[in-house]
């Protein structure tokens, strides 16, 4: 597929970036804007032997390549399809992988070694290769990592890795890196994007990135995706500068700028709890069963006393408390921290952002578990109302985002929990 074959997007000039991708027609939320099959992928080291090296599908009956015993495949078909890019590595891989120079590399550079090796034997007719070579290099030159087979023009190719390659996920959990030249060529970044990437795994085929509309998009509107997690409130601007060579001016970044320096969170536990309550009421999540959950972008109207929660490590702290207490209890603590985290997500992320849906599902499951041992009817009814409210939010958002990666996952969990809730009456 080339730039000329696109249906829903076209490339237009942009005032500051190289280009922009705009919609050619009105698009409904949930529409697939672009399908882009991977040019090259590499599994994280902890996924090797669990997933097929060609199609990335999980399997318990993979067969190893007899040449290197390093790559694993679903069957002969996957192995045959992977062979054109694997053949130059196969014989040399084991001695290269055990070498000191490879072992000394940080994990992401080891993955880059493999991705870079794909360029040693690209199919000459591959128009994705031409698109990849036409991408802009990142702002800083980094010497390419060693490759186990010579790659022509490795320097120039590697300069396009940091600012263009993607992390592939299943149910939003990352497990591989990939090169998707067309998607790189088309979409600019926004911290409040109107589209996001999901990955489709089909046995026997290279993984496909699907760019999905998160909300209705008007004809001629620019389509943006997030290059990194917008929750990196304090460091993201620096990452854009260093890795991508631009400054983000999305409404969230402008809002953050208008808010000014972020104060420290208070040390006094009572004051801290009072401010968290203030945050939840400001966003409107404190009474989950009666509220309408809506995103509320960061603007100057964010009350000054709760601006301390924009500290990046606060979200990390909150996620830690929630994930630990939702597993081990106490559930009161899990529901409390989970509701505050939901408020933060509604502040940071744009409408229908999949992470909001994932968290709402976790919160629904936690409220369900919390309701089980409750004998007090009023408390139990309250918890069940929370389950329903969170479940409906996660169904709306994740239903729109659609299935991603491996089978099962959040959509199946939503169906199961909904059945349990329906049985309760």
Among residues 71 and 129, whose Cβ is nearest to Zn ion? 71
Instruction: Give the interface size with Zn ion as a residue count (CB under 5 A).
Output: 15
x/- contact string, 48-67, with Zn ion (CB under 5 A)?
----x-xx---------x-x
d(CA 45, CA 51): 11
Give φ, ψ of 162 to 5 degrees: -60, -35
Q: Is 114 in the site for Zn ion (CB under 5 A)?
A: no
- Closer residue to Zn ion, CB minimum distance, 227 or 401: 227
Rounded Cα gap, residues 244 and 365, in angstroms: 38
Q: Which stretch binds Zn ion (CB under 5 A): 75-83, 215-223, 292-300, 409-417?
A: 75-83
Give the residues across from 9 on adjacent strands. Answer: 23
Q: How many CB atoms lie within 10 A of CB 263?
A: 14
- Residue 28 contacts residue 216 (beta carbons within 8 Å): yes
Q: Which stretch binds Zn ion (CB under 5 A): 25-33, 35-43, 72-80, 146-154?
A: 72-80
Residue 121 is encoded by which pair of tokens? 């034997």
Which residue in the shown chain puts its C-beta closest to Zn ion?
A: 52
113 binds Zn ion (CB under 5 A): no
Give the x-and-dash track for 88-107 against Zn ion (CB under 5 A): --x-----------------
With respect to Zn ion, which residue has the nearer C-beta, 86 or 177? 86
Site for Zn ion in 174-193 (CB under 5 A): 191
Contacts of residue 124, defined as CB under 8 A and 6 or more positions apart, other chains included, come to none
Q: Of 1, 6, 32, 68, which one interacts with Zn ion (CB under 5 A)?
A: 68
Contact between 253 and Zn ion by CB under 5 A: the answer reads yes
- 250 touching Zn ion, by CB under 5 A: yes
- Kindly tell me the sign of the dihedral angle through the C-alpha atoms of 257, 189, 320, 278: positive
DSSP string, 322-362: HHHHHHHS-HHHHHHHHHHHHHHHHHHSPTT-HHHHHHHHH
Tell me the two tokens of residue 313. Answer: 């490590």
Q: Long-range contact list for 258-263, CB < 8 A, 24+ apart?
A: 258/299, 258/300, 259/298, 259/299, 259/300, 259/302, 259/307, 259/310, 262/234, 262/307, 262/308, 262/310, 262/311, 263/304, 263/307, 263/308
Determine if 248 is a binding residue for Zn ion (CB under 5 A): yes
Q: Does 78 bind Zn ion (CB under 5 A)?
A: yes
Considering the complex, what minimum distance in angstroms separates the CB of residue 410 from Zn ion?
24
Question: How far is it, in rounded angstroms, from Cα 17 to Cα 51?
Answer: 37
CB of 120 to Zn ion, least distance (A): 14
- Cβ distance to Zn ion smaller for residue 253 or 334: 253
- When asked if residue 74 is in the footprint of Zn ion (CB under 5 A), the reply is yes
> Residue 344 interacts with Zn ion (CB under 5 A)?
no
Q: Which is nearer to Zn ion, 189 or 365 (CB)?
A: 189
**Which positions touch Zn ion (CB under 5 A)?**
52, 54-55, 65, 67-68, 71, 74, 78, 90, 191, 248, 250, 252-253
């Amino acid at each position: 597929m080339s730039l000329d074959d696109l249906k829903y997007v076209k490339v237009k000039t942009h005032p500051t970036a190289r280009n922009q991708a705009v919609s050619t027609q009105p698009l409904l939320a949930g529409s697939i804007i672009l399908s882009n099959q991977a040019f090259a992928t590499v599994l994280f080291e902890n996924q090797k032997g669990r997933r097929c090296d060609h199609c990335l599908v999980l399997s318990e009956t993979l067969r190893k390549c007899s040449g290197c015993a390093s790559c694993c495949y679903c069957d002969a078909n996957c192995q045959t399809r992977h062979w054109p890019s694997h053949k130059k590595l196969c014989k040399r891989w084991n001695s290269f992988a055990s070498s000191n120079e490879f072992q000394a590399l940080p994990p992401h550079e080891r993955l880059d070694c493999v991705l870079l090796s794909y360029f040693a034997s690209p199919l000459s007719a591959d128009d994705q290769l031409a698109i990849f070579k036409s991408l802009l290099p990142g702002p800083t030159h980094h010497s390419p990592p060693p490759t186990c087979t010579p790659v022509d023009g490795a320097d120039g190719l590697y300069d396009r890795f940091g600012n263009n390659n993607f992390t592939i996920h299943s149910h939003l959990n990352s497990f591989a890196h990939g090169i998707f030249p067309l998607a790189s060529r088309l979409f600019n970044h926004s911290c409040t994007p109107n589209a996001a990437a999901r990955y489709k795994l089909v046995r026997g085929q290279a993984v496909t990135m699907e760019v999905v509309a998160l909300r209705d998009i008007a004809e001629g509107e620019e389509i943006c995706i997030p290059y990194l997690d917008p929750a990196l409130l304090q460091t993201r601007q620096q990452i854009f500068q260093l890795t991508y060579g631009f400054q983000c001016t999305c409404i969230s970044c402008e809002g953050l700028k208008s808010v000014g320096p972020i104060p420290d969170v208070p040390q006094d536990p009572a004051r801290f709890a009072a401010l968290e309550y203030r945050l939840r009421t400001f966003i409107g999540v404190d009474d989950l069963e009666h509220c309408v959950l809506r995103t509320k972008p960061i603007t100057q109207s964010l009350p000054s006393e709760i601006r301390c929660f924009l500290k990046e490590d606060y979200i990390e702290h909150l996620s830690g408390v929630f994930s630990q207490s939702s597993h081990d209890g106490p559930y009161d603590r899990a529901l409390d921290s989970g509701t505050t985290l939901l408020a933060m997500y509604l502040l940071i992320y744009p409408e229908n952002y999949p992470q909001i849906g994932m968290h709402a599902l976790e919160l629904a499951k936690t409220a369900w578990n919390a309701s089980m041992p409750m004998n007090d009817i009023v408390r139990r009814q309250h918890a069940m109302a929370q389950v329903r409210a969170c479940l409906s939010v996660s169904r709306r958002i994740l239903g729109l985002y659609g299935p991603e990666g491996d089978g099962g996952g959040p959509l199946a969990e939503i169906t199961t929990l909904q059945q349990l809730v329906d049985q309760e009456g």
